[in-house]
């Protein structure tokens, strides 16, 4: 095998809670992650020269060691003393710096691809153990599906598949630093925490309406306070038929769950007309829980 083409899928957070700040500076979380059918594309080719070369369709994406794709490839190259090189063409479609783990998904796809291209023989679990060195979301992006994430996000428990529905994803014309959001979060001042266990029970019952009604993200206490337009977008989603609407990750992406595609299309038009956001997607859940992992 001299080349591979692969999709890297984004995620949303059905629920996100922060439990405490650890002594090492990381935060303990309890969140439900869900893969959506929105993806970046990677084309990866072997080269005879010992170099990791990256090109992207977005001028502002780094093409050097600052890209998680580079870090993922180099991690395996160094461990297995790979003397060849690779050329990676990265086509971004997942919103950047938006709380959808796009960079982590690309890194996960790269780990998977390098493992296949060079016959390293690593299992998906072994890739996940290496992926956490790159970022807390990378193991999940290798696992995918409906998952409870605890610890710093690296302890993963498979949940039953989410009931399918339409997902409207809206990204305003600004980006958010996850690190800064967590640094600004005042855990001691949080008066209400999301009912993650209640969401899990609703998932087990395939009860989409209860899931949607319980969706919450504790990081909104930071991001929405700074960017009130996110609350405006959430309210519009609900007023036009969303079963529930919440921010994904540290933001600023907001998503809504719909059981009617006409309502989903209408809410996109309304938010577009009001010029409240720049990127809009209508998609669905990517339920791959029957798989053991892989792409």
For residue 104, give the nearest of 150, 136, 152 by alpha carbon.
136
Q: Quick one: how many helices (H) and strands (E) in the chain? A: 10, 11
Residue 161 DSSP symbol: P
Is 225 marked active-site?
no
DSSP 164: P
Q: How far apart are CA 28 and CA 149, in angstroms?
A: 10
- For 213, counting Cβ atoms within 10 Å of its Cβ (0-12 exposed, 13-18 middle, 19+ buried), the class is middle
Q: Is 145 left (phi over 0), alpha (psi -120 to 50) or beta?
A: left
Q: Which of 71, 106, 137, 171 is catalytic?
A: 137
Residues 6+ apart with CB under 8 A from 66: none
Q: Contact at 8 Å (CB) between 234 and 200? A: no
Annotated active-site residue 137? The verdict is: yes
- Residues forming beta bridges with residue 255, ordered by sequence position: 169, 246
Cα angle 93, 173, 251 (rounded to 5 degrees) comes to 75
Rounded Cα distance between 12 and 131, Å, is 19
Q: Across-strand partners of 47?
A: 85
Q: Within 13 A of 85's CA, how many CA atoms are on the CB side?
A: 10
Give me the active site residues, please: 11, 137
């Amino acid at each position: 095998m001299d080349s591979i083409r692969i999709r890297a899928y984004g995620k949303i957070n059905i629920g996100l809670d922060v439990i405490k700040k650890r002594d090492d500076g990381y935060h303990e979380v309890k969140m439900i992650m869900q893969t959506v059918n929105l993806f970046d594309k990677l084309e990866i080719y072997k080269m005879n020269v010992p170099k990791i070369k990256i090109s992207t369709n977005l001028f502002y994406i780094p093409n050097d060691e600052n890209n998680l794709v580079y870090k993922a490839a180099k991690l395996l190259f160094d461990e297995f003393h790979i003397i060849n090189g690779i050329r990676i063409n990265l086509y971004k479609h997942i919103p950047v710096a938006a709380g959808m783990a796009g960079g982590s998904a690309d890194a996960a796809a790269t780990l998977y691809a390098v493992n296949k291209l060079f016959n390293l023989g690593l299992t998906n679990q072994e890739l996940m153990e290496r992926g956490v060195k790159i970022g807390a979301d990378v193991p999940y992006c290798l696992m995918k599906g409906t998952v409870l994430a605890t610890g710093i996000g690296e302890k993963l428990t498979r949940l039953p598949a989410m009931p399918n529905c339409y997902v409207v994803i809206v990204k305003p014309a600004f980006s958010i630093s996850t690190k800064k959001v967590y640094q600004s979060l005042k855990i001691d001042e949080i008066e209400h925490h999301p009912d993650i266990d209640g969401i899990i029970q609703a998932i087990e019952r395939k009860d989409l309406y209860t899931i949607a009604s319980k969706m919450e993200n504790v990081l909104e206490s930071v991001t929405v306070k700074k960017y009130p337009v996110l609350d405006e977008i959430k309210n519009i989603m609900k007023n036009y038929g969303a079963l529930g609407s919440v921010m994904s990750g540290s933001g600023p992406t907001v998503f809504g769950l719909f059981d009617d595609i006409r309502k989903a299309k209408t809410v996109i038009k309304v938010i577009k007309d009001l010029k409240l956001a720049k990127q809009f997607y209508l998609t669905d859940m990517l339920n791959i829980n029957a798989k053991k992992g892989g792409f």
